[in-house]
Each structure stands twice: as C-alpha cells, then as structure tokens.
C-alpha cells in the first residue's frame, strides 16, 4: 500500500487545494515568495480539474481538508491553535474542525453500539440523543443509563474510518520517501520515522478500548490536581468502537463569548492549562497529547475538564529530567548547562564543540527574553532550536515529538484564553518543583533504592550460582575458558546480600 501508486493521491491533494482555493490561502498565510506563488498557480491550474470539489459552503481551506480525509482534518485541528502561525482569521476558520464536523446518522450509531456490545440501546439507555459533537474520527451522543439514571457521553467511531486513515497515511509515507530521496539533508529528521510515530498515535484513537484505558489511567494520575478533572469511565458500556464515560457539563474552551459571559478568569484558566500540562509531563511522564480547545471544557466552577484520550504521550524518567533541565537552563539563562545536558543525553554528537553550541543556544534564548509577554512564543523557540540543531547535527528525537507538538498546541490554547500569557513565568515554578524533587540528595537516594531493588531480585539465585561455580572447579575447564575462583563466587553472594540490606535501609529513610 506504500508504493508509487500513491503519487496519484499526492497529486490529487495539490489539485484539491488548488480547486477549492485553499492553495492561495496557505501561500498567503505563510508569506510565500512571489516566485513560489507563480509556480504554484501555473502548476496548480494544470491539475486543478483532478481535485475534489468539497463542500462549497465551507471556507476554502476547510473545504479542502474535509474533502481530502481525516488525516488532513487532524492537521487542521493542530493548526487551529496557532493564530501566530496561520493568522487570526484562518485560526478561527480551522476551529470548526475541532468538534463541528458533519455527523453520521443516529441510526448508524445505534446499530454500531448494538453490534459491539450485544445489547439493545433502548434497554440500556433511558435516553439516547442525536449527535451533539462530531469530529474527524468519532462523534458523541448524550445518554442516560437505565440502571442508575446517570448522564453519560457515548463516543462512537465513524463507519469506515480505519480504511480512510490507512489511505491517508499510505500517501504520507510516500511523501516522506520522496522528501528523503530528493533532500538527503532531511534524513537526520527521520521523516518516515516521524510519520510512523504519529500513525501509531492516531491508530490508538481507532481502538476505543485503548482510549478507555488511557482515560482511566489519566484520571487516576491527576485525581489530586486542583482545578482539573477527567470523567470517570463506564467499562461495562465500552468496547472497541464504543466508549462511555461520565457526562461533563461545561463550556467548550473555544467558546470565548460564553467563557467571558460566565465571568471566568481567563488569565487563571490559561495559566492553569499550561502549568498542568507541564506538571503531567514532568511529574507523571503521562500527558494528554491532543489538548486543543475542542478537547477541553470549562466547568461552571472554573475547573478544566479534559476529554478525548486517544492520543496520549509518555516520557521515561531520564527523558523527563533532560527536558526539565533544558527548560530550567533557558529560564535561568544558563546556556552552558543547557549545552551540557544536550551532550550528556547524546542529543548532539560528541565531536561537536560544546562552547560553540552554548553560544548558539544563547542566540535562541536571549531574543525571547527581550520580548514582551504577549510576543513570547514556543513556536518561535522551536523554530530557532530547529535551526541550531540542524547546524550541529542533532537528530530528531522521536520520543519528544508528542511533547514538542503538544507544547505548541497547549501554548496556543492558553494564549487564546489570555493573549498576554508569559510562558516562562508559568513554567518556572513547575520546573523548579520538579528539579527539587528529581535532582538532589533525596532523588539520589530514591534512585539508589530503585537500583538496589532491581539488583536484589538476583539475590535468591546467588546461592545456586555459587554452588554451580564451585562444582565447575572439580572439572577441568576447556583451554580457552578461565577458571572461576571460589572466593569470587562468594564475593558475588555477599554483594547480593548486601544489596538487599542496603535496599531496605534506603527505603526506610525515604
């Protein structure tokens, strides 16, 4: 499926953008040079007849994205949170993609539920509404459980969505191959690996059992976070294509008029969303990786309610520390330490000059701190960092793709709520708390304890290993094999016992 025949799909994508008028919108939004615009118009009009018409009632870009399929719609959802990139007008248009896509009939949803769960909808639910929100992958119905009377949200996958995504990603893989072939310098960015990473994330959205598990885990890990809620799962009413959870009452985060009318503190909301994202990423290593406005609600009491857990991100403990130290170094303007962290983590080749890299990082940081709060943009930071890392041969870190992309999205959401938000002021206390907890004497003892626990698991095997080693002394060893000394075997046994005692002592201190 990832062969040259997908060239047709790529050609049709460009033709659709030309036919719907979206090509001109995109070129204008990104300030394309005149030469590029002339070539695009000339080539575009040649192939425009091959493009899809789309819905003529929609603005050009929405019309093109919706006509091309769900993967393109996902791209539009991401861009909708970046008015500083695509402009305010285009950002407002793209927000329609978040939760106001054309729904499929209620009867189709009912049939899907009855087929997946093996029950009659009328017997399980006292009420089951028409679609109240429809996105690129699924739509949501409001219902009332017959047994308990609880109000719930029932999410149902779109029919045929798996095949549609497969077609889109096939074309994306071909595009990545073309880019790598024609531009060898792009290979360090691993375009195909990046697409594999995103494909795996999106495919997680196509099995709602995985999303249900993520929702349950996220609810457990964030239960103590003030001002933040995750709806409770109803496992008995969920399956591969169906997901049921508590109904969340509140305003959509993209309903600015409603939020203002309700009297919510927009500054506090914007700062809370940004700080909570950082807290989840650094503290838990498990974060919501699709936090656009359509996936957030504002409760009447001002709580932020998260929805749609199909795309979640994970970071291991070491990566979290590296990321925290990089952010903290920028906050403190300690560019030498930021450079050292990059080298220690192996992000930059060891043969590069660390002082030169630190100077390049200063070029990234200093202009940012000279800007007013409203002008500071993570998008701009990432753009500068991209230029620096390209120069120093840093390869794309696939495990950080979700974190970087989500950081940009969350910043966009926060800035929509409060345009003057200062990213660094919000991030500093969160990162400092994490640094204190994860880098210091207490953290050292905790890490030592965990290491000791792992080593102590071998302790029960040490007596048998010692006996086997002693038994081998009585048989003549092969010429190429070194003789094991009995004292060495006993030393291993003693070391294992010591590890077990040390582990217990450290845990008692913590």
pLDDT of residue 484: 47
Cβ count near 510 (within 10 Å):
9
pLDDT of residue 344: 87
Tell whether 376 and 448 lie within a shared domain: no
Tell whether 413 and 283 lie within a shared domain: yes
Tell whether 423 and 494 lie within a shared domain: no
Higher pLDDT: 81 or 294? It is 294
Average pLDDT over residues 372-394: 65
Tell whether 458 and 406 lie within a shared domain: no
Average pLDDT over residues 307-325: 86
CB 327 within 8 Å of CB 426: no
Share of the chain above pLDDT 90, in %: 29
pLDDT of residue 73: 81
Tell whether 411 and 467 lie within a shared domain: no
Higher pLDDT: 364 or 216? It is 216
Measure Cα distances from 99 to 135, 244, 258, 264 in Å. Answer: 5, 18, 16, 22
From 225, 239, 290, 308, the catalytic residue: 290
Long-range contacts of 319-325 (CB under 8 A, 24+ apart): 319/285, 319/399, 319/400, 320/281, 320/282, 320/285, 320/434, 320/438, 321/438, 321/439, 322/347, 323/281, 323/282, 323/400, 323/403, 324/282, 324/431, 324/434, 324/435, 324/438, 324/439, 325/435, 325/439
What is the number of domains present in the chain? 3
DSSP string, 201-213: HHHHHT-HHHHHH
pLDDT of residue 266: 94
User: Which of the listed residues 439, 466, 483 is the one where a domain comes to its end?
Assistant: 439
Tell whether 446 and 414 lie within a shared domain: no
Say if residue 125's pLDDT is above 50. yes
**Which residues touch 92 (CB under 8 Å, ≥6 apart)?**
none
Question: Does 260 reside within a domain?
Answer: yes
Structure tokens at 275: 């700080």
Long-range contacts of 223-226 (CB under 8 A, 24+ apart): 225/276, 225/279
pLDDT of residue 500: 43
Tell whether 341 and 400 lie within a shared domain: yes
User: Which of the listed residues 400, 419, 439 is the one where a domain comes to its end?
Assistant: 439
Tell whether 493 and 394 lie within a shared domain: no
Alpha carbon 348 to its chain's center: 23
Say if residue 503's pLDDT is above 50. no
Say if residue 164's pLDDT is above 50. yes
Tell whether 285 and 427 lie within a shared domain: yes
Q: What is the biggest distance separating any 2 CA atoms in the chain, rounded to whole angstroms?
A: 89
Q: CA 331, 446, 460 angle in degrees (round to 5)?
A: 150
Q: CA 6, 12, 17 angle in degrees (round to 5)?
A: 140
pLDDT band at 36 (very low <50, low <70, confident <90, very high): low
Average pLDDT over residues 474-495: 51
Q: For residue range 71-122, what is the model confidence (pLDDT) as tens digits?
A: 788 767 666 655 555 666 676 677 666 556 788 999 999 999 999 999 999 9
Question: Does 362 reside within a domain?
Answer: yes
User: Which of the listed residues 403, 424, 439 is the one where a domain comes to its end?
Assistant: 439
Tell whether 422 and 310 lie within a shared domain: yes
Say if residue 35's pLDDT is above 80. no
Highest mean pLDDT, choosing among 299-308, 338-347, 500-509: 299-308
Say if residue 413's pLDDT is above 70. yes
Question: Does 14 reside within a domain?
Answer: yes
**Taking all residues of the chain, what is their mean pLDDT, rounded to a whole number?**
79
Tell whether 389 and 282 lie within a shared domain: yes
pLDDT of residue 241: 94
Average pLDDT over residues 423-443: 78
Higher pLDDT: 193 or 379? It is 193
Lowest mean pLDDT across 248-257, 374-383, 476-485: 476-485
Say if residue 140's pLDDT is above 70. yes
pLDDT of residue 99: 57
Q: Which of 501, 500, 433, 493 is nearest to 467 (CA)?
A: 493
Q: Is 290 a catalytic residue?
A: yes
Lowest mean pLDDT across 9-23, 131-145, 174-188, 369-383: 369-383
Torsion of CA 391, 393, 399, 404, to 10 degrees: 0
Say if residue 237's pLDDT is above 90. yes
Question: Does 187 reside within a domain?
Answer: no
Question: Does 294 reside within a domain?
Answer: yes
Tell whether 423 and 294 lie within a shared domain: yes
Q: Which of 423, 443, 445, 426 is nearest to 435 (CA)?
A: 443
Question: Does 478 reside within a domain?
Answer: yes
Question: Does 138 reside within a domain?
Answer: no
Average pLDDT over residues 269-282: 92
* pTM exceeding the 0.85 threshold for the entire prediction: no
Lowest mean pLDDT across 127-136, 154-163, 366-375, 478-487: 478-487
pLDDT of residue 146: 94
Average pLDDT over residues 392-402: 65
Question: Does 223 reside within a domain?
Answer: no
Q: Which structural domain range is residue 315 located in?
A: 251-439
DSSP, res 385: H
Alpha carbon 74 to its chain's center: 13
pLDDT band at 492 (very low <50, low <70, confident <90, very high): very low
């Amino acid at each position: 499926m990832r062969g040259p025949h997908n060239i047709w799909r790529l050609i049709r994508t460009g033709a659709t953008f030309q036919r719907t008028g979206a090509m001109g919108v995109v070129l204008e939004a990104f300030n394309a040079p005149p030469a590029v615009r002339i070539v695009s118009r000339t080539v575009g009009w040649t192939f425009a007849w091959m493009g899809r018409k789309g819905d003529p009632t929609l603005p050009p870009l929405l019309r093109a994205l919706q006509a091309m399929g769900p993967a393109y719609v996902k791209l539009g959802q991401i861009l909708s949170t970046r008015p500083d990139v695509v402009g305010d007008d285009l950002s407002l248009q793209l927000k329609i993609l978040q939760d106001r896509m054309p729904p499929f009939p209620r009867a189709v949803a009912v049939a899907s539920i009855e087929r997946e769960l093996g029950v009659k909808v009328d017997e399980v639910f006292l009420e089951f509404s028409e679609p109240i929100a429809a996105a690129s992958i699924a739509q949501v119905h409001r219902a009332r459980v017959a047994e308990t009377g609880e109000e719930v949200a029932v999410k149902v996958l779109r029919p045929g969505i798996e095949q549609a995504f497969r077609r889109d990603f096939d074309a994306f893989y071909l595009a990545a191959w073309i880019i790598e072939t024609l531009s060898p310098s792009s290979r360090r960015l691993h375009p195909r690996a990046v697409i594999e990473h995103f494909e795996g994330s999106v495919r997680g959205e196509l099995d709602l059992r995985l999303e249900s598990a993520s929702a349950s885990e996220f609810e457990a890990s964030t239960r103590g976070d003030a001002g933040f809620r995750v709806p409770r799962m109803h496992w008995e009413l969920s399956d591969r294509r169906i997901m049921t959870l508590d109904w969340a009452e509140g305003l959509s985060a993209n309903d600015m008029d409603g939020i203002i009318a309700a009297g919510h503190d927009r500054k506090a909301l914007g700062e809370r969303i940004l700080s909570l994202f950082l807290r989840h990423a650094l503290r838990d290593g498990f974060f919501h990786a699709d936090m656009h406005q359509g996936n957030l609600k504002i409760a009447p009491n001002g709580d932020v309610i998260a929805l749609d857990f199909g795309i979640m991100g994970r970071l291991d403990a070491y990566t979290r520390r590296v990321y925290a130290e990089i952010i903290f170094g920028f906050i403190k303007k300690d560019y030498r330490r930021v450079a050292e962290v990059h080298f220690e983590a192996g992000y930059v080749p060891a043969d590069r000059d660390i002082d030169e890299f630190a100077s390049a990082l200063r070029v990234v940081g200093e202009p940012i701190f000279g800007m007013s709060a409203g002008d500071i943009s993570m998008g701009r930071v990432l753009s500068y960092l991209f230029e620096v890392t390209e120069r120093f041969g840093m390869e794309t870190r696939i495990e950080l793709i979700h974190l970087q992309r989500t950081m940009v999205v969350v910043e966009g959401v926060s800035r929509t709520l409060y345009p003057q938000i200062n990213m660094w002021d919000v991030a500093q206390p969160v990162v400092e708390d994490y640094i204190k907890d994860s880098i210091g004497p207490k953290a050292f003892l905790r890490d030592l304890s965990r290491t000791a626990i792992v080593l102590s698991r071998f302790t029960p095997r040490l007596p048998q290993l010692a006996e086997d080693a002693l038994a081998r002394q009585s048989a003549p060893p092969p010429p190429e094999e070194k003789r094991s000394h009995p004292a060495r075997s006993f030393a291993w046994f003693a070391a294992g016992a010591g590890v077990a005692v040390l582990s217990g002592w450290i845990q008692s201190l913590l």
